[in-house]
Amino acid sequence: MIPADALTRLKSARSIAVLTGAGVSAESGVATFRDPDGIWARFSPTELASMDGFMANPQRVLDWYAHRRAVVDAVEPNAGHTALVALERWITQRDGTFTLITQNVDRLHQRAGSRNVLEVHGNLVEDRCSVCEEIHKGEQQLDAAGLPVCTTCGGRLRPNVVWFGEDLPRDVWDASERAARDADVFMSIGTSSVVWPAAGLAHTARSRGAAIIEVNPTSTDLTPDVTWHIAAPSGTALPLIVAALEAA
């Protein structure tokens, strides 16, 4: 299933950048955003994941994120997450560099043990002050309406995720672009490659000469431009890749 020349290229890599998307989490039982029966098919994105929706009905949005946190808390990282931990260990032991850029907000990569993780869409675990941007976690102060507010400035707290119409966190995005530019192998895993600017990272890597390995059960907008497309779920393909590298 894994092309031999893709393994050869990985074996000689000094720098690997990986972009993961919802498909990786789906194998843990976290619903994906863009499947026909996924989350956004049942709820309006603009009501639940935009500043306008939050301003219009903050309690509904907070309830929704509380539900999503509960869903994520109840699942475990899967074989794909674990293989990415092993891939990071494999290349760092050879003095190479590894950057895991994820569009997922569920923290499953970190729970599995991945270390160098860039969350381009933020995460579900933290809250952020909508006024002073301070990150909050856990205990919260409530206002008269029972809504959580910032203990520093009194501004309303919101989930620390990137909503529709919002920019990606600047530092995280800059680091992601650097990793894509510096990579000799770029892996696009479990992502539909339709959400920009994250989808552009593979093209950035390719324009700098990186080989592109796509792991996704179906073809995507990126597939015509990749070096190798491995048509399998990440939980199946990634353990095979890591086992082959570790055996070499």
Residue numbers at the binding site for Zn ion (CB under 5 A):
129, 131-132, 134, 150, 152-153, 155
Nearer to Zn ion, 98 or 163 (CB): 163
Report whether 160 contacts 122 (CB < 8 A). Answer: yes
Enumerate residues 6+ apart whose C-beta is below 8 A from 10: 16, 185, 213, 241, 245
Nearer to Zn ion, 129 or 245 (CB): 129
SS3 8: helix
Shortest CB 241 distance to Zn ion, Å: 44
Phi-psi region of 244 (alpha: psi -120 to 50; beta: other; left: phi over 0): alpha
Q: Rounded distance, CA 140 to CA 156, Å?
A: 11
Whether 81 is catalytic is no
Shortest CB 62 distance to Zn ion, Å: 16
Shortest CB 68 distance to Zn ion, Å: 23
Catalytic site residue from 121, 136, 203, 229: 121
Nearer to Zn ion, 13 or 161 (CB): 161
172 token code pair: 């995280």
Nearer to Zn ion, 81 or 158 (CB): 158
Q: Rounded distance, CA 12 to CA 184, Å?
A: 9
HEC per residue, 11-42? HCCCEEEEEECHHHHHCCCCCCCCCCCCHHHH
Nearer to Zn ion, 81 or 136 (CB): 136
Shortest CB 145 distance to Zn ion, Å: 17
The DSSP element (H or E) to which 66 belongs, if any, is helix 58-73
Q: Rounded distance, CA 141 to CA 44, Å?
A: 29
Shortest CB 50 distance to Zn ion, Å: 20
Cis ω before 197 (30° cut-off from 0): yes
As a whole number of angstroms, the longest Cα–Cα distance in the chain is 62
Q: Active-site residues: which are they? A: 121
